[in-house]
Amino acid sequence: MRAEHPKLEAGLAALGIDVRSGTFLSELTSLGIGGTTDLLRITKHDSIPELIGLLEHHDIPYKFLGGGSNLLVGDGELPWVILQLAKPDPEIVLEGNFAHVDAAADLGRTVTFCAKHDLGGMEGLIGVPGTVGGALRMNAGAYGMQIGSYVREVKLYRAAERKIEILKGNQISFEYRHTSFGPDDMMLAVTLELPSKPFKEILQGIRICNEKRRSSQPLGQKSAGCIFKNPPGASAGHMIDELGLKGLSVGDAKVSDRHANFFVNAGRASAKDMLTLISDVRGRVENAFGVKLENEVVVWNA
Ligand code: EPU
């Protein structure tokens, strides 16, 4: 999809939108899969309601992209443009135990920045790729913690209301890899309240989590993290492994040899390959265990 109408282009320029025409989504996703479209980078949060109005006026569908680390995007020319927040400077402002963080900030860098200022709690998230906004939207978690536990306030674009709103932490429900945000809501910024902890102690926790992750997950390979959510009381990776499916592939889409709930792009996998592999594995697990695995990865297919 191209944002090419002259009046639209003038409107986008007036809103300070940086248009990157013909962007390859394969370069913006950790799976390295995805076709082309125009990328619209937002430099001012306040421009979003007007931007959405402008796109709708010109019948241009859109999607919001965070860090692209939990996302499987379709192949070829995509039927929507992509909106993404540009990183502001600074991305994080600390105020006592509160960290005010822009949604575009890198999650790992946020964890280490806070740690250096003796603010802990998020050690488990250290190796989770992506932005703070993406982590917030899906309530990312690992090693017994989840980001939602620390959220005190969220600034977001509410798609249903067509305006920017601030929600208090207690107005949002955070469950396992799920939140009460609407599907089209766009995370803009968050205030986290983090417990005080000496840097050295946080660093020790970070090292332990890093070590666990390195020993069980295919970190150097292109993936979207876990493909499926864990069903209540079970591990999807364990079930897929028990069926002997590590290494199963469709084209270059492959079940990781290291962790069976990670599906990797071992070369030039297409979205079609990856979707076929996902559906094949889901079917086999359902036949064997009577459990229908739910995607954790978000699929944007045309
Ligand atoms: N296991 C296997 N074979 C495998 C993978 C796992 O037998 O190929 C076994 C492990 O030996 C272990 C059990 O399954 O006994 C659980 O494995 P693991 O500790 O790796 O945890 P997981 O349930 O597979 C979850 C999260 C990860 C998170 C880790 C650590 C989900 C879907 N996955 O994985 O999150 O990093 O715990 O806390 O909740 C993600 O969400 O993308 C993600 C990677």
The predicted-structure confidence for 209-234, as pLDDT tens digits, reads as follows: 999 999 999 999 999 999 999 999 99
Confidence tier at 5 by pLDDT (50, 70, 90): confident
Nearest CA to ligand 1 atom 40: 226
The ligand 1 atom at the shortest distance from the C-alpha of residue 228 is: 32
* Pocket test residue of 238, 246, 263 for ligand 1, highest count of atoms within 8 A of CB: 238
Which residue's structure tokens are 């999807």? 236
Q: Give strand pairing partners of 223.
A: 264
Tell me, rounded to whole angstroms, the distance of Cα 186 from its chain centroid.
Answer: 12
- Ligand 1 contact, 63 CB (< 6 A): no
Confidence tier at 102 by pLDDT (50, 70, 90): very high
Instruction: Provide the pLDDT for residue 213.
Output: 96
Cβ neighbours of residue 14 closer than 8 Å, sequence gap 6 or more = none
Indicate the residue type of 52.
I
- Give the side-chain half-sphere CA count within 13 A for 127: 20
State the Cα–Cα distance between residues 64 and 128, nearest whole angstrom.
20
Q: Is the pLDDT of residue 69 over 80?
A: yes
State the Cα–Cα distance between residues 92 and 166, nearest whole angstrom.
17
| pTM of structure | 0.96
Residues 31-55 pLDDT 10s: 999 999 999 999 999 999 999 999 9
Residues 242-279 pLDDT 10s: 999 999 999 999 999 999 999 999 999 999 999 999 99
